[in-house]
Amino acid sequence: MPDQSIPEARDRARIQAGPQARAQAGAPAPEGAASDQAAPSAGRLTRRKLLGTAGATGLVLGAAGGAVGYTARPAEATPLTSLGSGQAMFHGKHQSGITQGLQACGHLVAFDLAAGAGRKEAVALLRRWSRTAERLMAGEPALQDDTDVARDAGPSSLTVTFGFGHSFFGRTGLEKQRPVSLDPLPDFSSDHLDKKRSDGDLWVQIGADDALVAFHALRALQKDAGSAARLRWQMNGFNRSPGATSHPMTARNLMGQMDGTRNPKPAEPDFDQRIFVPESGTPSWMANGSYAVVRRIRMLLDDWEKLAVKAQENVIGRRKSDGSALSGGTETTAMDLEKTDAKGNLVVPINAHARITRPDQNGGAAMLRRPFSYHDGFDADGIPDAGLLFVCWQADPVRGFVPVQRKLDRGDALSQYIRHEASGLFAVPGGAARGEYVGQRLLEG
């Protein structure tokens, strides 16, 4: 659980005025904004029309090219009244759901192609999924048999992200197009993996700031799968809602720790190099894509909560109250790994989680963490099944996730309070251009 998580949903500097407000101010609309939205069905009362303010106060995300779509932090918290008006773009250089801020609700889903289904069925499925995702992200109903679950709601910053697992390529006869970076992750000593809740041919990430909007998308995509694919596993997650705090803050996890201080920032000059496959990368269909490592990490909260706050802080290496390093300063002050106390002991313990996961302690290895918390009830002894749906993004997991996790395996103080119970690695292609579906360059290239 490296100390590199993305700020929570309301902490978005990507909040921009909608087209009406920009027009009044005399400013041009950003590239890929209103003109890129799917046209509502003629004469139909849409969710965006019902909301009324979707255009005026919405979030314009995923614009084609540049850093416009991924500013790291907002100037102010999102007003609760505008929660439904946030909108992410389906078309763009990258898929949505990677650089956007944390959303309040999420679903992670894996599918396997049905017996006998192959490349032809996969093409038809990705076409359906892309069409549905584009409509739902724009606040429109699904084309076929919409359930009306999200009626009356705006887009609510809905994002839908698609990826391919290692097994997908054999099922579709595309083994030669399978990236080397998609080779299975090595075994780690902290793994207690449930194979039934790991891997999969296809992976879908759904996020939104409204639970009904997120569920509506989940149900629509599951119905779209039809006879082509069957559900392998599905996990539900959540984060703090936009506007829940008086000022923007880094997210907290279920251990109560601030989780995300050292996440790579899009404004950094090497951000794209570390997170996205370059245009010249191989295979060519992965240009502008990324690799997602997905881990279900159970937190042993009963044991953790028995620790005094000081002991918890020593495990992490940061203050629980404000996220600052134990070596001093504020949350963003660089950690002094050599600082000692009056007795000569390191202020940041040698096995502190934040020390071990620092990029400068791992050959520069970095990943963009964008997790959801989860709670799946209690076992027979009343012990909570709760923790983190860990999702991290990188240009190459061999250089990103793997070296950091190997080092954590060798001596992370946090390891005795967490358990890795499910795992997956997925190749997430770049965004679809207008007129394309996600994965078209692989399936029809």
Q: pLDDT tens digit string along 344-387? A: 999 999 999 999 998 888 888 889 999 999 999 999 999 999 99
Please check the confidence at residue 219 and state whether its pLDDT lies above 70: yes
Write down the H helix ranges in 52-205. Answer: 54-57, 119-137, 166-171
Contact by Cβ (8 Å): 3, 264: no
Residue type at 387 in one-letter notation:
G
Contacts of 327 (CB under 8 A, 6+ apart): 333, 335, 336, 337, 339, 347, 348
- What length is written for the chain? 445
pLDDT band at 295 (very low <50, low <70, confident <90, very high): very high
Residue type at 7 in one-letter notation:
P
Out of 24-28, 72-76, 244-248, which region has the weakest mean confidence (pLDDT)? 24-28
335: region left, alpha or beta (phi > 0 left; psi from -120 to 50 alpha): beta
Out of 112-121, 222-231, 309-318, 362-371, which region has the weakest mean confidence (pLDDT)? 362-371
Q: Which pLDDT belongs to residue 32?
A: 36
3-state secondary structure of 178: coil
Q: Which pLDDT belongs to residue 360?
A: 83
* Residues labelled catalytic: 259
pLDDT tens, residue by residue, 87-143: 999 999 999 999 999 999 999 999 999 999 999 999 999 999 999 999 999 999 999
Burial class of residue 195 (count of CB atoms within 10 Å of its CB; 0-12, 13-18, 19+):
exposed
Please check the confidence at residue 21 and state whether its pLDDT lies above 50: no
Residue of 136, 131, 129, 128 whose CA lies nearest to 156? 136
Q: How far apart are CA 245 and CA 242, in angstroms?
A: 8
pLDDT tens, residue by residue, 39-94: 344 444 444 444 443 333 333 333 333 333 333 444 455 554 588 999 999 999 99
Contact by Cβ (8 Å): 316, 414: yes
